[in-house]
């Protein structure tokens, strides 16, 4: 039977936790010294509880009354740590393991993006079913100390019947409170996958030692307002470069560079990937062809970040479920604009018009490598 691959990852993570619990149960019964330390931890009261909240917090972001937390960031950190903190060890053994790591990571990124498939109003019943499942499965832990603020936000999100897709392209998005209530159910969607994809790009280039700060930034900044970048590149001759993921953080990067003298720049995926389909509201995942070529051959030598879908053996006359179409059409909100759509989300006529016009077909039906914009000219080390 085909096992759900993400479930297998989580099953083994659960086994590690279960192993630690067995050790804890055994030693607390059989070792008086261990039990004494456990009693010491319990005596710390809220100080110990606050520490534990960094591993799971029932609530939405750092808002509301005390205690505060950031569930989506905790889940995202754990997801990223599985890849960049543990699985990367196997990737470092040899080229074949590294190829396998890239492929596995790309597939898990796709599953991460698919988690955010319940934002469209058509998915309301499924969205509510998920929230019911979380409430049943987590019990009271879904809300830290049954905080009224978070319970109300959860219920408001549950009752909302429209699209939970932010603007743009939603012309009438819900309040930020309802949107953040939905976001808090998942590990950080889009931002988290982007961080993993940029990391995958960096480890495939010989730019120096790639040192991830993704789960260490807050710790390193301490009480300072200056925050270190997401990645450090340690290059030869003592050169260090800081890379901050995403735009709009130029002031943060400038402050860090001013204080440390380390040059820091912002980087992002080319063409602002990944893309949300303007027709169905779901994220467009990376296709099999891109995953296979990227993991097997790495970054294209000419840095060409696209491949033509019609040249792919899986195209099958337009039947591949992952074909991306960049075109000008009326989206789900009744607004005509050029955007990227699932080819399957186009009408039969729209698909036929594109398929019969070679120039339009070659221009519109393009798949994307998750390459990084702005680093293509950075000199490789020998």
d(CA 85, CA 94) in angstroms, rounded, equals: 17
Angle at 245 between CA 85 and CA 12, to 5 degrees: 25
Looking at residue 222, the DSSP 8-state letter turns out to be T
Q: How confident is the prediction along the chain (382 residues), in pLDDT tens digits per residue?
A: 444 556 888 889 999 999 999 999 999 999 999 899 999 999 998 888 888 888 888 876 555 445 455 788 889 888 888 888 888 888 888 889 999 999 999 999 999 999 999 999 999 999 999 999 999 999 888 887 777 888 888 999 999 999 999 888 898 899 988 998 899 899 988 899 999 999 999 999 999 999 888 777 665 655 566 788 999 999 988 899 999 998 777 777 888 888 889 999 889 999 999 999 999 999 999 999 999 999 999 999 888 899 999 999 999 989 999 999 999 999 999 999 999 999 999 999 999 999 999 999 999 999 999 999 988 888 888 7
Inter-helix orientation angle 148-159/124-138, to 10°: 150
pLDDT at 60: 67
Residue 69: the pLDDT is 54
At 342 the three-state DSSP class reads: strand
The pLDDT assigned to 58 comes to 83
Tokens in use for 141? 């832990």
Cα separation values, 244 from 30, 126, 201, Å: 49, 36, 14
The helix/strand/coil state of 365 is strand
Contact 71, 59 (CB under 8 A): yes
**Coil, helix or strand for 153?**
helix
Neighbours of 377 (CB within 10 A): 6
- Reported as type and span, the H/E element at residue 160 is none
For residues 151 and 156, what is the distance between their CA atoms, to the nearest angstrom? 9
Give the global pTM. Answer: 0.89
């Amino acid at each position: 039977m085909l096992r759900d691959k993400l479930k297998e990852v989580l099953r083994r993570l659960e086994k590690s936790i279960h192993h630690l619990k067995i050790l804890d149960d055994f030693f607390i019964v059989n070792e008086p010294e261990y039990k004494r330390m456990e009693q010491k931890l319990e005596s710390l009261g809220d100080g110990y509880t606050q520490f534990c909240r960094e591993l799971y917090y029932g609530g939405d972001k750092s808002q509301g009354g005390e205690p505060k937390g950031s569930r989506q960031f905790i889940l995202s950190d754990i997801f990223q740590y599985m890849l960049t903190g543990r699985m990367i060890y196997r990737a470092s053994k040899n080229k074949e393991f590294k190829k396998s790591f890239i492929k596995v990571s790309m597939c898990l990124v796709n599953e991460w993006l698919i988690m955010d498939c319940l934002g469209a109003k058509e998915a309301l019943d499924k969205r509510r079913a998920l929230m019911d499942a979380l409430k049943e499965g987590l019990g009271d832990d879904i809300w830290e100390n049954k905080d009224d603020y978070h319970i109300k936000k959860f219920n408001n999100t549950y009752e909302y019947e429209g699209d939970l897709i932010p603007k743009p392209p939603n012309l009438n998005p819900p309040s930020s409170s309802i949107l953040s209530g939905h976001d808090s159910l998942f590990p950080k969607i889009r931002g988290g996958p982007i961080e993993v994809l940029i990391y995958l790009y960096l480890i495939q280039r010989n730019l120096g030692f790639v040192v991830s700060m993704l789960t260490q930034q807050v710790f390193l900044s301490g009480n300072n307002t200056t925050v270190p970048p997401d990645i450090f590149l340690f290059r030869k001759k003592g050169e260090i470069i800081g890379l901050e993921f995403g735009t709009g953080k130029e002031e943060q990067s400038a402050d860090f560079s001013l204080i440390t003298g380390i040059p820091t720049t912002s980087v992002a995926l080319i063409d602002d990937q990944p893309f949300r389909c303007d027709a169905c509201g779901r994220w467009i995942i990376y296709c099999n062809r891109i995953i296979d070529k990227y993991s097997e051959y790495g970054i294209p030598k000419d840095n060409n970040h696209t491949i033509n879908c019609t040249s792919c053996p899986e195209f099958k006359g337009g039947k591949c479920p992952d074909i991306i179409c960049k075109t000008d059409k009326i989206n789900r909100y009744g607004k005509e604009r050029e955007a990227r759509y699932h080819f399957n989300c186009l009408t039969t006529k729209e698909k036929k018009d594109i398929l019969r016009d070679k120039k339009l077909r070659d221009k519109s039906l393009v798949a994307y490598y998750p390459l990084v914009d702005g680093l293509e000219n950075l000199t490789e080390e020998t």
